[in-house]
Structure 1
Amino acid sequence: MLIDIIAGARPNFMKIAPIIKAIESAHAQWEVDLQYRLIHTGQHYDKKMSADFFEQLNIPTPHINLEVGSGTQAEQTGKIMLRYEEVLLHEPSDLCIVVGDVNSTMACAIAAKKLNIKVAHVEAGIRSGDITMPEEINRIVTDSITDYFFTTSEVANHNLRHLGINNDRIFFVGNTMIDTLLSQLPNFRKPHIWEIADLRERNYLVMTLHRPSNVDDPSIFKQLMNEIIASVRGLPIIFPVHPRTRKMLANLDIKVPNLYPIEPLGYLEFNYLVNHAKVVITDSGGITEETTIMGVPCMTLRNTTERPETCTIGTNLLLGDDPKAIKPAMDILFEGNWKKGHIPELWDGKTAERIVDVIIQLFNKSSSVSSIENQVVESK
């Protein structure tokens, strides 16, 4: 069985690393005919956004790099579909595994299904309810053509059942990104900014902002920045700046001594900062999952989240898009009254193993059916 594993952008890399490891382990331990082909679409091509993650997470060199690069949403999606289709026409796979909700996820799922190749979606069924998010469109389209749904929560299971998906195609397995986090915890390493900013345990903030609704309008972005700076009581703010945010931040001309805009960090360095921070302020979904596992308070500057379990069970608080919501949340934090989070079900570091076990069972079942069908044909 040949499995294509698709990775295109930084959020994908943490999710595919444990799946590759689990496939290699199953192949060696059980001697199953399980081969994989790692395909990097090249959606993220900046070293800090791509190559560093492959090195730090011990992800092998991709078998194929589609090298699509940047472009508009449509340009990038179209190029991925065209180039992945060429790969499949030359050598089709038996299963295409896509993860998350980036353009590569949707594009490769479409290309595979058009060629009658089964699609498995890891992190299926999550929904923000905000159709203005490109990721939400990617989720909806991908799940509409997926064959096998690997989910992170019962909320995701409910979302899929509501769409009419049968239970025998939904597999509640947990969260592969947490597999990576737990396995890499001992390897976290202190970034240079620790000494430069003279950081101390639980005495600084980490911030990430990149969503168009927060950073594309200069007036909105400046209001957010001013409220955050005014509310943190002088603590250092470490701000790894996403490439799409860098120019916008420069135009705001904000100069305060406790704000440290820095280049994007590698996985191990970034999560070292998160693990020791007093709080994380973000508009990312994945980071809210990591802070929940690490027990670090998290404030999300969005009106909706596709990961509600980080709020209902974890350490995350959804603040919305009103900058005035930041100070009251900070007051709760500094008063020591932040909620105590818990670990969601099956976020235990064994998700990838469960995924591969399911794939082997599905493959064995499919092989048995094909064998019976062939026998019937031959008998005629």
Structure 2
Amino acid sequence: MKLITIIGARPQFIKAAAVSREISKHEDLTEIIVHTGQHFDENMSEIFFEELQIPRPHYNLDINSVGHGAMTGRMLEGIEEILIKEHPDFVLVYGDTNSTIAGALAAKKLKLKVVHIEAGLRSFNMDMPEEINRILTDRISDILFCPTQVAYQNLVNEGFKNYDCNVVVNGDVMQDAAIFYSKSSEEKSGILKKLDKKDFILCTIHRAENTDNRSKLRNIVETLNKINREISVVLPLHPRTLKILQRNNISAEFDIIDPVGYLDMIQLLKHCSLVMTDSGGLQKEAYFFNKNCITLREETEWVELIEYGYNILVGSDPEKIYHAYSKMIKKEFKKENDLYGGGRASEVIVNNLLKTNLIMTPE
């Protein structure tokens, strides 16, 4: 059986690596990895692949730094050529990027089987390009692997039991990755020694809804300044966002550091006192490493974290942010359930791909 994996962003490489490790256990499975080049990332150097034991892509389309339409169109063209040449049994796509929808569309129009990993997630915010990508990818996929029961229920509510597809609740492959890399992060990361802080809040801000809205960004930064007077705030920040702060004369009194790699981020997560973020992935990773989280957005795809009290949504409202901080910094983290599969998500994916006659039943 031949599988082609389409990925384009650094987090997708980490997720796909977890599945690739499971695929490699089966001699009758062959995987070909296609990197669209969507996120040009200097961190994806030789050391990125070596440290994280990630398979190097067989194809690199090097498509980046163009608008949504041009990017998706070029990806469609490039992916289609590869699929015609390789003719796989399954095409695997991850998440909700332009690479995801381009891979799914190219495969479907060639009548190839599409597998969507991280299916069924919904923010119910159609202003998000990611929401459009995930909805369309789900609809044309043949096998949909849902990270949570909530994601599965979203698909049921949208009528997927009436479609010719198979839906499986498999857990979250990112938890597989977090477990795998936790030990090596202790050995290879030097971020804590460099940072030299005992107590700190780990914060990230990157979503356009915050960075491109001057009022929201100012509210968030000024509230972080207030919190920083009580406990240190550490913010790995992309240079683009730093320029936005400087251009708008928004002064940060807390520690801004350069963007960090995955192993460094794990160490920051494991040793911080609290997480504040607008990242979907970091919300889950906070849970993986037993940290409470405050989400600087109006909605989240990971509603189970809200439901069980591990996470609070605050948007950019200063009063809500500070109130949530005051509550969550004191709250003991008690993991009383396993929301994301316990590290077996990749195993479930591969076992299901090896089976036939899948039915729409949660694992």
Normalized against structure 2, the TM-score is what? 0.91
Q: Tell me, what secondary structure is at the counterpart of 1:328?
A: helix
**What is the match of residue 353 of structure 2?**
359
Q: Judge conservation of contact 2:245–2:251 (CA < 8 Å) in 1.
A: no
**What is the match of residue 202 of structure 2?**
206
Tell whether 2:278 aligns with 1:289. no
What residue identity is the alignment partner of 1:317? I
Q: Judge conservation of contact 2:10–2:41 (CA < 8 Å) in 1.
A: no
Tell whether 2:326 aligns with 1:331. yes
CA RMSD after TM alignment:
2.1
Counterparts of 2:46 and 2:69 in 1: how far apart (Å)? 24
Counterparts of 1:142 and 1:212 in 2: how far apart (Å)? 22
The match for 2:181 among 184, 193, 201 is 184
Change (3 A) 1:76 1:358: same
Counterparts of 2:43 and 2:3 in 1: how far apart (Å)? 27
The match for 2:229 among 226, 233, 240 is 233
The match for 1:94 among 85, 89, 96 is 89
- Structure 1 stretch displaced more, 348-357 or 68-77: 68-77
Tell whether 2:170 aligns with 1:170. no
What residue identity is the alignment partner of 1:194? L
Tell whether 2:335 aligns with 1:348. no
Deviations 1:89-113 (A, max 9, x none): 2222111011111111111100110
Map 1:151-166; keep pairs closer than 5 Å: 151-166=146-161
**What is the match of residue 19 of structure 1?**
19
Unpaired stretches in structure 2, ≥5 consecutive residues = 359-363
Change (3 A) 1:267 1:314: farther
Q: Judge conservation of contact 1:3–1:97 (CA < 8 Å) in 2.
A: yes
Q: Judge conservation of contact 1:15–1:177 (CA < 8 Å) in 2.
A: yes
Counterparts of 2:166 and 2:316 in 1: how far apart (Å)? 36
Normalized against structure 1, the TM-score is what? 0.88
Q: Judge conservation of contact 1:84–1:111 (CA < 8 Å) in 2.
A: yes
Tell whether 2:269 aligns with 1:274. yes
**What is the match of residue 264 of structure 1?**
259
Q: Tell me, what secondary structure is at the counterpart of 2:127?
A: coil
Q: Which has the larger radius of gyration?
A: 1
Map 1:55-94; keep pairs closer than 5 Å: 55-94=50-89
Deviations 1:275-328 (A, max 9, x none): 110111110111111111111111101111111112223622111232321111
- Structure 1 stretch displaced more, 164-173 or 186-195: 186-195
Change (3 A) 1:341 1:19: same
Q: Tell me, what secondary structure is at the counterpart of 2:160?
A: coil
Q: Tell me, what secondary structure is at the counterpart of 1:25?
A: coil
- Structure 1 stretch displaced more, 102-111 or 69-78: 69-78
Deviations 1:311-355 (A, max 9, x none): 223622111232321111121134x23563444345211111111
Tell whether 2:117 aligns with 1:122. yes
Identity, in percent, stands at 37
Counterparts of 2:282 and 2:197 in 1: how far apart (Å)? 21
**What is the match of residue 194 of structure 1?**
192
Q: Shift of the alpha carbon at 1:2?
A: 1.0
Q: Shift of the alpha carbon at 1:192?
A: 5.0
Counterparts of 2:59 and 2:191 in 1: how far apart (Å)? 35
Q: Judge conservation of contact 2:170–2:349 (CA < 8 Å) in 1.
A: yes
Counterparts of 1:256 and 1:78 in 2: how far apart (Å)? 39
Change (3 A) 1:175 1:54: same
Q: Tell me, what secondary structure is at the counterpart of 1:206?
A: strand
